[in-house]
Chain A
Amino acid sequence: MAGASACGGAGCGPHCSSSSSGAGAEGDAPAERMGRLSIAAGASTTTCGKCDGGGAVVAVSGGAGMCGECFRAYLFGKFKLAVTSNAMVRPTDAVLLAFSGGPASRVALQFIHEMQSKAIQSWETSNSQALPAFGVGVAFVDESALLARPEHESEMATEDIKSIVSSLSPGHKKVHVAPLEDVFSSGSEDKAATLKEVVGMINDETGRDDFIRCLLMLSLQKIALENGYTKIMLGTCASGIARHVLSATVKGQGYSLPADVQYVDTRWDVPVVLPLHDCLAQELSLLCELDSLKTQQLLDRPCSGINSLVASFVSRLRDENPSREHTILRTAQKLKPFSFNMFSANGYHDFLPSRLRPKFQNVDTNDTTFSEILCLICGSPFSESELQNLENTKHKAQRKIDMYTAHCCQSCHFQILPAATDMYEHFFSLLPKFWTEKVDTAVTASANHGSLRDQIEDYLLEEDDDEN
């Protein structure tokens, strides 16, 4: 999945940490921090090159210096373009914004709010009122159980987030705060304990980190499904994607890599969209400072293991060349995406004026039109060798455990499954049922399919029987 990790001070993605950014702290001198965070290296002039306002340059992009206003418009422009050209949001959509508290998701929240406000205004002033404004909700997944933070910090963070959201009007946005452990089946058991137990069974540090990210995505899916949201919007930005490109590469996931770096991801029950896909973490941090957009990072969890190594590496590269992240992104864009990386055009909405129909495609959330097999834990599409392994297992498998194991990609197999194979049974029993049930269904379906064919095989005519 498009995981996010520490981005050397800027923060991006739904659950990324940026421990060093301190964007939430009010104490630092703004001018000094702007100097540090601005991308104004090598600006050819000191006043804005885009407008006639003569404002001071705060950031540079493509050699052009921009004043605060223009910079803001430039970022919003990228956001809006991503949303409209990928038909990310339909008028009937209820969009759930994943809010981590960091600068990137803060900007995503701000921008989607502005788009919503405009849509509300248009609707109110339009005669036909044919196009309703889409709804927006905000989700925050609380990882305190794993961070061993005192409860009051968790409450403070939650209150902060609620106040940030409620300050945005018009358009009421419901805030959903869910503890991460809610992904585990309810019951009388202590979910937090289950969470800690299953994470504790993972020996590899990077594996733990990635596993938690997978749980985060599941958590968002759960919130969206239970509350009727039709899209999940992540704040994952270009910097986070660049890091993911490298970390997936070093984990041997070169085949599945394109799945996580596109604008649209419909693998999940609720499709996921990435409108900040082309914005750099530094740019987003800078905007938060310029516009005093409040962030909340008390409950950040720093990334670890290989993810942390990659983050430092990219940081060094960025220092040496600020456009490196974009280059990495461009390389990834040249890899072939999967069929689930776009919405299927399965019809249109009756109420849409015909001129707008081509823009908004229908998404049947329950219709898995793609044929790829996905890893049961991380959702990566299976490569040739993984498919081969699955086929072989299907023929030999006696136990459910073997099927579960064969439905894990090689990376999850190595870094997430417990080292001792006799622990598999217990490990899988603890995993969210959401995941293991999918495999159960798939197994039953193919078993049924198999036996059905067996039953009618004798009655099926060969094609050349017609001749006789």
Chain B
Amino acid sequence: MAVGLPPRWRKVLRDLLTHKLRTLLVVLSIAVGIFAILVVMGGRGILLRTFGDNFPKSNPSTGILYTSGFDASVLERVRLFPGVRDADGRRLVTLTYRVGDVISLPEPPVQETQAVRSKAIELMSSADWTTSRLELVFPQNGAPWPPPRGGVVLEVSDTQIASLAVGDLITVDAPGGGKKLLRVAGFAHDINSFPAMFVGHIRGYVSADTMADLGAPKAMSELLVSLDTTGLDRAGASRIISKIRDDVVAPTGVDVLATYVPDIGSHRLGDIFKAVSVLLLALGVLALILSGFLVVNTVTALLTQQMKQLGIMKAVGGTSWQITRMYLVLVAIYGALAICIGLPAGAFMASWFAVFAGGLLNFGPGSTSPPLSAIELAVAVGFVVPLVAAYVPVHAGTRVSVVEALNSTGMSGAHFGHGRVDRLLGTIRGLPRPVALALRNTFLRKGRLAMTLATLVLAAAVVMSVGSVRASILATVTDMSSWWHYDEQITFAQPVNARLAAREAAKVSGVSGSEGWIVAAASLRRGDGTENDALSVIGLPPATTFITPQITQGRWLVPGDTGVVVNTDVVKSENLSVGDSVSLKVRGVDCTFKIVGVARGQMMGPVFFAEVTKLDSLLSFQGSITRLMVRSDSHAAADQDATGDRLERRFSGLGLLVSGVQGQARQSESFANQLGILVTFLIIMAVILATVGVIGLVGTMIINVLESTREIGVMRAVGASHASIFRVFVTEGFVIGVLSWAGGVVLSFPMSWALVQLLQSAIGVPLTYAFSWQVVALWLVVVSAISAAASLLPAYRASQVSVRDAIAYE
């Protein structure tokens, strides 16, 4: 072997090949570090890049005007308005649909299955899809485009909640009355639509002809505007959009019901995505630290073992640099091998993660290879960190005298008996022998113990913090449920008479009470002329029993009230307080209210609550409502669904178009699901980080055994049984596991609190902080099992060491 190679390089090579277990261990430890970093940072990078590519490509709008209906001539006028880059129009209708052809089955069977329950579909049409200019939709897998007449092209994220395939038929309740069949013609990606999972309904694209066939008005309803955004901020954009509304659109006789201007260049899921991105970044940094610890720990342990040989080489004339170079090359080879394993595995997992997360967030197709920066970071950790970690002890080793190097037993082993911990351990009497020995062993290698503990503590804290984030989300959902007391809420496509709705609802079996609300989008006119259009106003009876508003300031509504109560979300974004006067534009009508109270927001965005009769008269609704809150006998999710379904059928049977049916249990569920996506990401990452910690523990245990071979031999020579040596090492693993758990609990308090803060500021929803003791208990069980198991193999090897092997071992 290695003919012609100088002996010192032969030694490097043989060290790699002779100690295969050790090589495997070191390489695996480094590879796991590379893997973890690549998955977290690389996965995040892929997501950012896919989004960064696909979102601008869709040509997103700067603002949207929701109108009663306009035609191409209005669009032309808007395009000519100064500052406007382009404008486009869409028609959007929300309908209920059932899977399959149910026209021939007018009365569905009593025992209706989940599959034929009616659900909501949002149909969107463009005057001509082939020439649409803004918020472009990209057909996937050769879907026919524009959508053929009678066909619907579904948004790809629809499959998140509906199992529909090309060729399937759906039956929709046509806006013009009656039922119509649509055939699924294919799928398309629309980055500007909410993923189905987040909104709970599906989205389909149809041609203008199909829309007309369904009996929907031909005019477009949504006016998309793209502004020249150079140097433009949100307030400026909002000002221009209001101007367009007042100076261009309104004079043509078109009613503008609401406007929407998000942050410039932001995506509708921007907040959730920001949360995902920020959490991934935080975990990525943790992964980096963990991996760094693991790599340093492993390399240090490896070199501690080599100190004696280092001493011998010095004794026969090896210079510092010659010896240092040998070990740097050795470690560089370990690093290179680790990169060979960790890089492809990490890249694969990163792309899997990105595809999974990108699918949930509906970012669309993109390249799935991790960005160079993530690969560079991983390579740095796999290569540079081990080299630095090796350089430090080797350099120190070449500095001390040969005798010291020859006598060295480990990083601090020689000093046992001096520290406070050691003395404390010395005072613990009456412990069983193996336990005492294991404790002594554990603390003997304090430096390594510290590193292993740090790694495991961090892993434990991450797992526990993730558990607490999840608990906080659940607590928030529970809080929300105690706020709402409805069972079903029915949203009507057009205002309907309140008495009629209540009377008809009461006839539906299972219904025990109802209340009519007026719910409308509103925009707030600010003092500086800009507008906040992301608001809604709810008109409800002050004595409502369908919500329990928690008043934080002022008072709740009273009968005949002319004031409004705002929720905390409004106060947060608008700097308003009780006593202020606000001017709102609701369905094209200007209204002025005085704020009389502030209620805690319940994840409904910024809302103004007004007395329903007051709002009715302002909007000239003449006793009409847009939403019916219903209470039913059973609060179970399935019963709420069934009752909701019967209500919807009753209303559509009367020609009252229902655009949404929502059971409360389902709503909580869907909210929990949305946040659950974040939790899923967190759990995936926590598992990866926990794996890093566990591999670190196994590695330390194996190295400890390798290092203690001589001691084990001596113990065997003086009569220790296999079983008692086995026990020594298992106890050692267990002690490390439990210590790390305790440290993890302490660290998880600030860490989980910080993660929850991060999350709520990212999604803009206040979360109820809850600490998860369950996960703390669970991790204790897991880590004791894992750490005892992790020491099984090394403990077994230790118990098998014979006296002869031990003495012969170098």
Instruction: Answer whether A and B are interacting partners.
Output: no
> Interface of A with B (CB < 8 Å)?
none
